[in-house]
Amino acid sequence: MQFQVPQYIEEDDKLFLSLSFKQFLYIGGGLGLSFIVYYFIGSLFLSLFPIIPIMTLSGLLAFYKHNNRPFSFLLESFFYYIISEKLFIWKKEDRLKQNIIEKQEKKPETEQSNTIPMVTMGTLHDLSRKLDMKNEEKNNVDNRL
């Protein structure tokens, strides 16, 4: 028995003039709002100033995708960022050292003896120098050949 697997499931169905229902609503809403602005202002020249941003926004909502996501998600994230509280930390705290100290205080003495010794900057510097010296010796041997 064969089953048909649906394809193009991420694309919306085209309903009106090769527009999806959502795109049609965005464009229709932009046109309707533009007509209301023109009706209340009365002058075509003066009403163009608010109509152009309205139609631009409706066009972006209908057709523009940022990182394969609709523009409405970007707009929603922008408004959420503007409205939400922000936390500014001006003084950097060394939380890593605090966590290490807290873990050492919590562990019983039996576990502390089994832990790996901490590597200091002097030890890292010595290891780095030894590796550099080995690499230089290897390069000298390769150059002789």
The three-state (H, E, C) secondary structure of the chain, written as one string: CCCCCCCCCCCCCEEECCEEHHHHHHHHHHHHHHHHHHHHHCCHHHHHHHHHHHHHHHHHHHHCEECCEEHHHHHHHHHHHHHCCCCCCCCCCCHHHHHHHHHHHHCCHHHHHCCCCCCCHHHHHHHHHHHHHHHHHHHHHHHHC
The pLDDT, as a whole number, for residue 34 is 95
Q: Containing domain of residue 34, as a range?
A: 14-83
The pLDDT, as a whole number, for residue 59 is 94
Tokens of 78: 């922008």
Total structural domains in the chain? Answer: 1
* 59 domain-assigned: yes
The pLDDT, as a whole number, for residue 93 is 61
* 108 domain-assigned: no
Separation between Cα atoms, residue 145 and residue 143, nearest integer Å: 5
* 115 domain-assigned: no
The pLDDT, as a whole number, for residue 139 is 74
The pLDDT, as a whole number, for residue 101 is 73
* 93 domain-assigned: no
* 125 domain-assigned: no
* 71 domain-assigned: yes
pLDDT tens by residue, the chain, 145 residues:
788 888 877 777 788 778 888 999 999 999 999 999 999 998 888 999 999 999 999 999 999 998 889 999 999 999 999 999 888 776 666 666 677 777 777 765 555 556 666 667 677 778 888 888 877 777 776 666 6
* 132 domain-assigned: no
The pLDDT, as a whole number, for residue 55 is 95
* 60 domain-assigned: yes
